[in-house]
Structure 1
Amino acid sequence: MSHCKPWKWSLSFIFILSFLFTSTISTNQELQFPCKPPQHNSYPFCDTSLPIQARAESLVSFLTLEEKIKQLSDNASSILRLGIPAYEWWSESLHGIAKNGPGINFNGTISSATSFPQVILTTASFNRSLWRSIASAIAVEARAMYNVGQAGLTFWAPNVNIFRDPRWGRGQETPGEDPMVASVYAVEYVRGFQGGSVLASAHADTDKSILTSDDDDAELMLSACCKHVTAYDLEDWGSFTRYNFNAVITNQDFEDTYQPPFRSCVEQGKASCLMCSYNAVNGIPACAREDLLQRTRVEWGFKGYIASDCDAVATIYEYQKYSRSPEDAVADALGAGMDINCGTYLLRHTQSALEQGKVQEKDIDRALVNLFSVLIRLGLFDGDPKKGKFGKLGPKDVCTLKHRELALEAAKEGIVLLKNNDKFLPLAKRSISSLAIIGPLANQTELGGGYTGIPCEPRSIVDGMQRYVKKTTYASGCVDVSCATKAGFSEALSVAKESELVVIVVGLDLSQETEDHDRRSLLLPGYQTDLVNSIASVSKKPVILVLTGGGPLDVSFAKEDPRIASILWIGYPGETGGKALAEILFGDHNPGGRLPVTWYPESFTKVPMSDMNMRADTSRGYPGRTYRFYTGERVYGFGYGLSYSKFSYKLLSAPPTTLSLLSTGSTELDSFSKRARRSAYGINHVQIDDMKHYCDSLRFPFEILVTNNGEMEGGHVVMLFSGSPKVLERSGRSPEKQLIGFERIETVPYVGVKVRMMVDPCEDLSIVNEDGKRVLALGNHSLMIMQQYGEDFELRHIVSIIL
């Protein structure tokens, strides 16, 4: 979702409508909620005994054409004669209730909400249960805000696009570069947010059946929206903007990289909303691609509504030049399967599109049934929401101690230790007489990144350090993050010289990477590198370097410099980030975060950001993208992250060294195997579609014992990878390695922890061919564990499986 829009007057119009809506609701108590007795509860759509679809169709049948059109905007108009109030669809909840979007306001009883770490840092924890717990906590606060009239029930999060290019300004909002990780995150967020599992334990009288149901028509606590379908990962680069960009994607990349998170979001997460993106996909704007949008319903079983990104319908005509008129753009979007337009384009052009015969009323009815079905599932047409299952939630449930502790835990689990020469960290408590904190972000409390609300109790990094060292001195060094001058260097050098120990905080903020703004360089902005080197040259001891921001940075200079003892990446850690960092530096928490993205060298900026190909192409000097296909040098690799402890692995349950496709004894599968086709790579394979009924019989457990060989307890992430037959790897069309499983465990010194993962060959050992079909190659497959050796990581071969 976007709050930066190409038509600013249109955005203003939305907010004017929102203001009028809020004013109307506050002065007209009769329209607080639909189906209010005694005047408006006798309609069939208020009958809770009827199926959701029937209720939605009934409601649409009562509407005039003019009323229908006024429901096609994010700011849906009231229908006075039916007792239906206006409704604002646009609220945001990426990593806490955000200020973006007119559906949220902090000017009432609730003036703040818990600010969790930005998604990219939370993902670095590789902790599924943490991801779901955060989503559930956000849901509790969102529903509480709805109950006091400060939020809607439909939220446009999560962002599960792949972080394909390190320069992307919105990569910070995503779960990273790996499609499997992004898929898992999508499922956990949606299930936690729509079902509110935290609420089940917090309120014993809550009907828990609604919190765990897999039914697409089940009641919802809130509605989550997976965005942006699809291949959206460019804001402003060269002559391209997100509004005019045409993402040219191969069938292979489409199926094995760009689409998996959205498919999982629907099939496993049961998301009630999808959002189509600004960009075109292979020449057709995403919001006008019928094959793209209808596939979600026909193949994936999606039951929900499809929203456009804000003014994305307008871009079909105005920027993409795909349609010949505004009316054609409306017809293209509605015909493709989009249901609601964030913006006013449909409000202004649908009537004329109808008059010109380009839109049929049945297309509008279909869209409205999808929209009202979600609102009915949310209980909006069941009477007074305050008397419902979630009516007890209110201000007492926002910014709770439990939620702030969860935010702290998320920051601590996500922070990544990138360098720790000679075990410089953790620092000894009470042994440091004076500490200098230097950097333009060190004393800032706004460390949440994009889509942040108003935090409950924001604290800076300086605040966090002062809990451990009373004599803590601060100097900014740079006026701001862009660090365009060296005006503050002298003060910083003076402070550094006088202190026993120095922590330098540099990196990125929203002036460098954000919506509508991509980076041009992977280096530290401005004179930040000079600041670090200058401080390191005068410090009494080696310095500690702390990096902020969501995008990868080329800090090769610091990686190799012995004057810089330790490097930590803290992303955008949210309101508890200062405390989290201090606890790690002083040994109250053992770092265990892992990078969810590859950190590339500055030379990668020569690669056109507009090139959507994932796989390397040596014929044109193209190095590929992400850990799965990139062939160049790395500053730090995907999955990199040190700990204060060392861990060893022991295989407990060896998988079979040979898996026969005939093991089921099925004559039908025997037939599939005998007609396994020979691919262009010179290797036999079987299409997964031919095997889908037999995949379960091929699954096997993988079990290892992980032992913490250090003196500190702490979390540890186990990462299991698969490798394809070598002939496929050499072709460059198959990933060299592919993450197929991960598990975060808690360990204590010298005690082993069993980790068990199930391996599904059809999913985990298969690849996508050039036709976009998933196939299982016959031959020698590898299972590998990522293991630390010194301060480097390598994939340790565990076992080979012959298919």
Structure 2
Amino acid sequence: MGRRNRAPSSVCPVLLCFLLYISFVSEPSNAQSLPAFACNVAGNNSLAGFGFCNTKIKIESRVADLVGRLTLQEKIKFLGSSGNGASRLGIPTYEWWAEALHGVSFIGPATRFSKLVPSATCFPQVILTAASFNVSLFKAIGKAVSTEARAMYNVGLAGLTYWSPNVNIFRDPRWGRGQETPGEDPTLSSKYAVAYVKGLQETDGGDPNRLKVGACCKHSTAYDLEKWKGVSRYTFNAVVTQQDLDDTYNPPFKSCVIDGNVACIMCSYNQVNGKPTCADPGLLSGLIRGQWKLNGYIVSDCDSLGILYGAQHYTKTPEEAAAKSILAGLDLNCGSFLGNHTENAVKKGMIKEADINKAISNNFATLMRLGFFDGNPKNQPYGSLGPKDVCTAEHQELAAETARQGIVLLKNVAGSLPLSPSAIKTLAVIGPNANVTKTMIGNYEGVACKYTTPLQGLERTVLTTKYHRGCNNVTCVAADLVSATALAASADVTVLVMGADQSIEKETLDRIDLNLPGKQQELVTQVAKAAKGPVVLVIMSGGGFDITFAKNDEKIKSIMWVGYPGEAGGLAIADVIFGRHNPSGNLPMTWYPQSYVEKVPMTNMNMRPDKLSGYPGRTYRFYTGETVYAFGHGLSYSNFSHQLLKAPKLVSLNLEESHACLSSSECQSLDAFGPHCDNNAVGGRLDFEVQLKVTNAGDREGSHTVFLFTTPPEVHGSPVKHLLGFEKVRLRKSEEAMVRFKVNVCKDLSVVDEIGTRKIALGHHLLHVGSLKHSLNITV
């Protein structure tokens, strides 16, 4: 099955996506249609006698009743994402595939737009939302998106299951899909995942057995390569240590399941250590459903099973691929592979009908939690939602506010920003991203309610605003230096809006280098040289660039990174530039120099450095080399100070008398589990608080993210530093606030050892908050 987000190399993807696109843009009717739902007792009284339609009994009993009524052929149909249903039982076809990465998307056949609902709120791409480091904002967006999704479902334009969010770690700056993720840090990614999933799924009543819509955390696991120097995601074998899996790649998925109660996990295309993830029983049945206790279903990335058979040659026959995947723990196939090959697998004795029952039971249980088997959704909670609840003023303002909070001020010489509109007679706006619309919403996009481009946002403030593209597009094969420099030379202030779009970085396309594309660097340098007044450089992109040249250019007074800022991006950019909003975003990923990627192949999955080979390691947690801008970097128009009020200097662990570490002076670490990690056994001393006073010492109101990092002892290849937590506070001028971090020694101050076991490192730990450092010693 072709699709933009998962298997564009499979059967006729371009044609299929084109047809899907045409279907949503050319919908001729304003007529309202009913959504797909089962158990329409009002329309068919005979359905009332079916146990699976009885909402008064437990979901498990309803599922068992339904499965017991199906033939083998009907059961197999329910292993696929479309083409299912059982009309004799009053069950229509349900299309599983829909997307809601940062708003209801037209990607996936379950969703379409029409004259009835022509658009939906397009929030900033995830990487910029993550830069806000605001957990309450993450959840608010999820809640808004689920409201719009339910509203569209009620008029037959959308489904109930959304294969979002993408919580893969942004391991390599060249990755084309890094824009979809919350960044490079497992703590941030986990907190984002849980908040967004809860926003999507939680009902107003808070019943964990009910879902507003079903979320899906993808793509498990160690998936972060598209197509790089001939290496394809479809055949890539990610060689990953158990330490890196448990320490870096898996934590966001674990948090999705355990803390977010997510309804779905999606397995990825790639192999991990020689096994396709969608046919790995250790991952699917052992870890996700076994250890983590997934309450939901596991779905393949589209065409994954065809790929593991046809491209990876993991099995000799398609029947074997179908059997291995289901036996590994796969419940649902995006595509038709299981529908085509499972019956033969049963006939050949490769799989039993009971295994199919188990898989479809997980799928049915999810649909029952969504109310699909509860009759007409108009008579259920959220049944009153409709077109009036999509693109509301509240949701559009939330999109704008998210962009404001995410924008990162990277450079600001001598307080050059904010600009004073009254001091500017002529404003020059130059660059290929200065007047874009769709570029601002990135991929997995929908149809925006409306757009405010950067140019539109700026010209609303400065009456005389002159615009020139500088390049025809971001590839910037040729730059019009003469016109661009002449415009800058005549203006009081110049704003350059440069960067990338989906032609540079996207699904199926990784970058080769970290330089600005084409002649963008030359354009920026020459415009800055010719400019009469200060120059503001705005970078619109998912990943970072090596803009050392601009960082060091004295004529470029300010630099902002705006991600892909969503439908209201231009409004947010102008609000920051002119000081209507005090910037508070922080980078969720490291910006490396070009020399870094010249040393590091994308195919090397190791997070930790290797001194023998010269491999420098990845992300702020392990890389100690030169950066252009560091993880967490972000400037404000205010100054914030921190004062440590409370933190322990010593934590002593009580061990059993027989514990080996009591008799050995060489003991460097302890297991992060056992009696010594039981708070009740040691009087609660393993939980402690770090208390800080944060003061806004600047002359304007602003928000500020307080980061608590730890540097553990050098044992088991521990990180250079690691983010324990963060808290965003908003303070008026001269206002103070208390920020508290709760820390558990065994959970938060432990590290993962070489075989994947969590260990408490004994000895000297260093807690950091800004420039503050506090020593903590853990002993036995």
Q: What TM-score does the superposition give when structure 1 sets the normalisation length?
A: 0.92
2:257 is the counterpart of 1:266: yes
AA of the residue aligned to 2:541: G
1:625 corresponding residue in structure 2: 618
Q: 1:677 to 1:243 in 2, by over 3 A?
A: farther
1:791 corresponding residue in structure 2: none
Matches of 2:272 and 2:48 in 1, distance apart? 45
AA of the residue aligned to 1:780: H
**SS of match in other structure, 1:716:** strand
2:131 is the counterpart of 1:124: yes
Matches of 1:10 and 1:577 in 2, distance apart? 30
1:52 corresponding residue in structure 2: 59
- For residues 624-658 of structure 1, what are the alpha-carbon distances to aligned partners after superposition, in whole Å with 9 as ceiling and x for unaligned? 00000012210000000001111111112x22211
1:670 corresponding residue in structure 2: 656
Matches of 2:446 and 2:719 in 1, distance apart? 39
AA of the residue aligned to 1:36: V
1:246 corresponding residue in structure 2: 237
What pairs up with 1:137-176 in 2 under 5 angstroms? 137-176=144-183
Deviation at 1:674, TM superposition (A): 4.6
1:723 corresponding residue in structure 2: 711
- For residues 480-524 of structure 1, what are the alpha-carbon distances to aligned partners after superposition, in whole Å with 9 as ceiling and x for unaligned? 1100112x3322223222221100000111110000000001010
**SS of match in other structure, 2:550:** helix
CA contact (8 A) 2:226 2:233 kept: yes
CA contact (8 A) 2:32 2:116 kept: no
Matches of 2:649 and 2:414 in 1, distance apart? 41
The sequence identity of aligned pairs, in percent, is 48
- 1:34 aligns with one of 33, 39, 42: 39
1:256 corresponding residue in structure 2: 247
1:712 corresponding residue in structure 2: 700
Matches of 1:16 and 1:43 in 2, distance apart? 38
In structure 2, list runs of 5 or more residues that go unmatched.
none
Matches of 2:33 and 2:758 in 1, distance apart? 56
2:140 corresponding residue in structure 1: 133
What pairs up with 1:566-585 in 2 under 5 angstroms? 566-585=558-577
- 1:703 aligns with one of 677, 688, 691: 691
Matches of 1:431 and 1:30 in 2, distance apart? 56
CA contact (8 A) 1:481 1:525 kept: yes
AA of the residue aligned to 1:771: I
- For residues 457-476 of structure 1, what are the alpha-carbon distances to aligned partners after superposition, in whole Å with 9 as ceiling and x for unaligned? 11100110011101111110
Matches of 1:631 and 1:676 in 2, distance apart? 35
What pairs up with 1:75-90 in 2 under 5 angstroms? 75-90=82-97
- For residues 672-694 of structure 1, what are the alpha-carbon distances to aligned partners after superposition, in whole Å with 9 as ceiling and x for unaligned? 75547979xx5421101224433
Deviation at 1:749, TM superposition (A): 1.1
Matches of 1:393 and 1:293 in 2, distance apart? 36
CA contact (8 A) 1:10 1:344 kept: no
Q: 1:784 to 1:193 in 2, by over 3 A?
A: same
- 1:236 aligns with one of 227, 233, 237: 227
CA contact (8 A) 2:692 2:740 kept: yes
1:5 corresponding residue in structure 2: 8
Matches of 2:637 and 2:351 in 1, distance apart? 63
2:777 is the counterpart of 1:801: yes
AA of the residue aligned to 1:291: G
CA contact (8 A) 1:274 1:307 kept: yes
Deviation at 1:313, TM superposition (A): 0.8
1:516 corresponding residue in structure 2: 508
CA contact (8 A) 2:762 2:777 kept: no
2:69 is the counterpart of 1:62: yes
AA of the residue aligned to 1:686: L
CA contact (8 A) 1:523 1:553 kept: yes
Q: 1:784 to 1:221 in 2, by over 3 A?
A: same
Q: 1:30 to 1:625 in 2, by over 3 A?
A: closer
1:205 corresponding residue in structure 2: none
2:341 corresponding residue in structure 1: 349
Of stretches 524-533 and 53-62 in structure 1, the one that deviates more from structure 2 is: 53-62
CA contact (8 A) 1:673 1:686 kept: no
CA contact (8 A) 1:678 1:684 kept: no
Matches of 2:187 and 2:444 in 1, distance apart? 24
Matches of 2:264 and 2:34 in 1, distance apart? 30
Q: 1:720 to 1:641 in 2, by over 3 A?
A: same
Q: 1:127 to 1:30 in 2, by over 3 A?
A: closer
- For residues 509-550 of structure 1, what are the alpha-carbon distances to aligned partners after superposition, in whole Å with 9 as ceiling and x for unaligned? 111000000000101000000000111111101210000111
CA contact (8 A) 2:764 2:775 kept: no
CA contact (8 A) 1:436 1:495 kept: yes
Matches of 1:562 and 1:386 in 2, distance apart? 62
**SS of match in other structure, 1:54:** helix
Deviation at 1:713, TM superposition (A): 0.4
Matches of 1:31 and 1:697 in 2, distance apart? 54
- For residues 60-88 of structure 1, what are the alpha-carbon distances to aligned partners after superposition, in whole Å with 9 as ceiling and x for unaligned? 11111111111111114231111111110
Deviation at 1:670, TM superposition (A): 2.8
**SS of match in other structure, 1:689:** coil
**SS of match in other structure, 1:755:** strand
What pairs up with 1:398-547 in 2 under 5 angstroms? 398-446=390-438, 447-486=440-479, 488-547=480-539
2:564 is the counterpart of 1:561: no
RMSD after superposition: 2.2
AA of the residue aligned to 1:573: P
CA contact (8 A) 1:546 1:568 kept: yes
2:754 corresponding residue in structure 1: 770
Number of equivalenced pairs: 762
AA of the residue aligned to 1:374: T
**SS of match in other structure, 2:55:** coil
Matches of 2:181 and 2:376 in 1, distance apart? 36
Matches of 2:340 and 2:459 in 1, distance apart? 56
AA of the residue aligned to 1:631: T
Q: 1:677 to 1:528 in 2, by over 3 A?
A: farther
Matches of 2:660 and 2:326 in 1, distance apart? 46
CA contact (8 A) 2:103 2:120 kept: yes
Q: 1:336 to 1:671 in 2, by over 3 A?
A: farther
Deviation at 1:227, TM superposition (A): 0.3
2:605 is the counterpart of 1:612: yes
2:727 is the counterpart of 1:740: no
Deviation at 1:19, TM superposition (A): 12
Deviation at 1:560, TM superposition (A): 0.6
In structure 1, list runs of 5 or more residues that go unmatched.
201-207, 663-668, 788-795
Matches of 2:374 and 2:48 in 1, distance apart? 9
AA of the residue aligned to 2:653: L
Deviation at 1:44, TM superposition (A): 0.4
AA of the residue aligned to 2:92: P
2:329 corresponding residue in structure 1: 337
CA contact (8 A) 1:139 1:194 kept: yes
Deviation at 1:8, TM superposition (A): 2.3
AA of the residue aligned to 2:200: F
- 2:202 aligns with one of 149, 172, 195: 195
Matches of 1:639 and 1:421 in 2, distance apart? 19
1:636 corresponding residue in structure 2: 629
CA contact (8 A) 1:676 1:686 kept: no
2:673 is the counterpart of 1:689: yes
